[in-house]
Amino acid sequence: MPGFELFGEREREQVNEVLQTGVLMRYGFDGMRNNVWKARELEEAVAKRMQTRYAQAVSSGTAALTVALQSAGVGAGDEVIMPTFTFVASFESILAIGAVPILVDVDDTLTLDPKCVARAITPRTKVVMPVHMCGSMADLDALKEICDTHGLLLLEDACQAIGGSYGGKPLGSYGDLGCFSFDYVKTITCGEGGALITDNERFHKNADHYSDHGHDHLGSDRGADAHPFLGYNFRISELNAAVGCAQIKRLDEFLALQKRHYDIMRKAIGPIEGIAFRRVPAGGVENYSFLNFFLPSRPLAQKAQQALTEAGVDACFYWYDNNWHYYRKWAHLTHLTSLGKLPQEIVQQLPDYEKSNFSQSDHWVGRTLSCLVKIGWTRAEVEERAQKMAQVLKRVLAAPQ
């Protein structure tokens, strides 16, 4: 990843089809567009690749999560269980509809721990949202059993794991709803964009309407559309969708490159004493966008990340101190720092995360390094990088502590 590394003629051809019509909006202007409907084309391609009945393309991964939640009827005061390790968009999408994010520990998968999820359920819980961080997935069988037992929705945030699978099913298709991001640094990109997938006809119909101001999209006269319920504008443009139409066709090409590069690096560092890899649940296949591994301690992980950077091995992330991806730096959530008044349901129900004990998450994330897997590398570049990583990690682990 990301898809922009191999951006080329196929993407330009798709965009030029839109520019030749002059219609940049996904709805209306039927007579001008010469039957060019790139958002529709992207939705059909995503649904087919993810083996679901429906896909709805939207303006971002954040929009996909927001629309997915609202399409399933989640709203003010409903609780959504999510992990401590994710991107801020996960809780932003929950707060945007007046719902309450309930943070829960991760385990050695670096995703939701099912045992902690079960303990966090209350009468207000509506959704369990596993986030398939850094290319791999949660224990979806265990989470699905919990959701079925308690009558909860399972919403997969697969924004960082498109192309991975679990039990032979594409990630995102296992739950009631799944979401993807197509932003500029994802495995496939639209520049800005996202999509949700589902087999539920009602959820899809709601998503279709809600993401376009509540338009019912019946008939060919947009001005005559009725509005069966309130909605907002989360539309994707035809230009962004056009880029996605090219990139979704290249997903398997990108995944093969990611796996090749991932395997080279993993083989190089795997034998090093003190290195352990994240657990991938049985039946799961990563999308290989990150190589994720544990060091024996938090200080060693910090030291290793610094040493790798100094050696010129870029894009190896230490999430424990990251502003965007780990709960420790989410003061704006903890203190509900907002430009305007928030719904009282959020103010009254949000747990006091300053007093929460997430030591289990700290244990795993504090020892984790995640190295980005680029698709634009040559084999020689990957092999050189892998050997440098091995040399640095051996040196760090062999040094007196």
Q: Which residues pair with 197 in a beta bridge?
A: 55, 178
Q: What percent of the chain has pLDDT over 70?
A: 100
Q: How far apart are the first and last CA of the chain?
A: 35
2, 106, 157, 228, 385 from 374: Cα distances, Å: 7, 26, 22, 45, 11
Task: Calculate mean pLDDT across residues 118-131.
Answer: 98
Q: Which helix (H) or strand (E) holds 102?
A: strand 100-104
Domain pair 3-250 / 252-398, same fold: no
Question: Of 310, 315, 260, 291, which is closest to residue 368 (Cα–Cα)?
Answer: 291
Question: Of 200, 196, 164, 201, which is closest to residue 180 (Cα–Cα)?
Answer: 196
pLDDT digits (tens, 9 = 90+) for 157-199: 999 999 999 999 999 999 999 999 999 999 999 999 999 999 9
Q: Which two three-digit tokens encode residue 248?
A: 């979704």
Q: Which two three-digit tokens encode residue 387?
A: 């050997």
Q: In what order do the strands lie in the sheet with 169-170?
A: 169-170, 165-166, 284-285
Quote the CA–CA distance of 148 and 153 in Å, as a whole number. 8
Query: For the whole model, what pTM was predicted?
Result: 0.97
Task: Give residues with Cβ within 8 angstroms of 38, minimum separation 6.
Answer: 14, 17, 18, 26, 238, 239, 241, 242, 244, 245
Task: Calculate mean pLDDT across residues 273-287.
Answer: 98
CA angle 65, 69, 71 (to 5 degrees): 115
Listed by start position, the domains of the chain span: 3-250, 252-398
**252-398 maps to CATH 3.90.1150.10:** yes
Q: For this structure, is 186 an active site residue?
A: yes
Indicate the DSSP class of residue 264. H
Q: Please tell me which residue in 38, 126, 144, 186 is annotated as part of the active site.
A: 186
94 phi-psi bin (left φ>0, alpha ψ -120 to 50, beta other): alpha
pLDDT digits (tens, 9 = 90+) for 5-44: 999 999 999 999 999 999 999 999 999 999 999 999 999 9
Quote the CA–CA distance of 266 and 371 in Å, as a whole number. 10
**3-250 maps to CATH 2.60.120.10:** no
Q: What is the pLDDT of residue 162?
A: 98
pLDDT exceeds 90 at position 133 = yes
The amino acid present at 28, given as its one-letter code, is: G
Cβ contact 250:10 at 8 Å: yes
Q: What is the pLDDT of residue 386?
A: 98
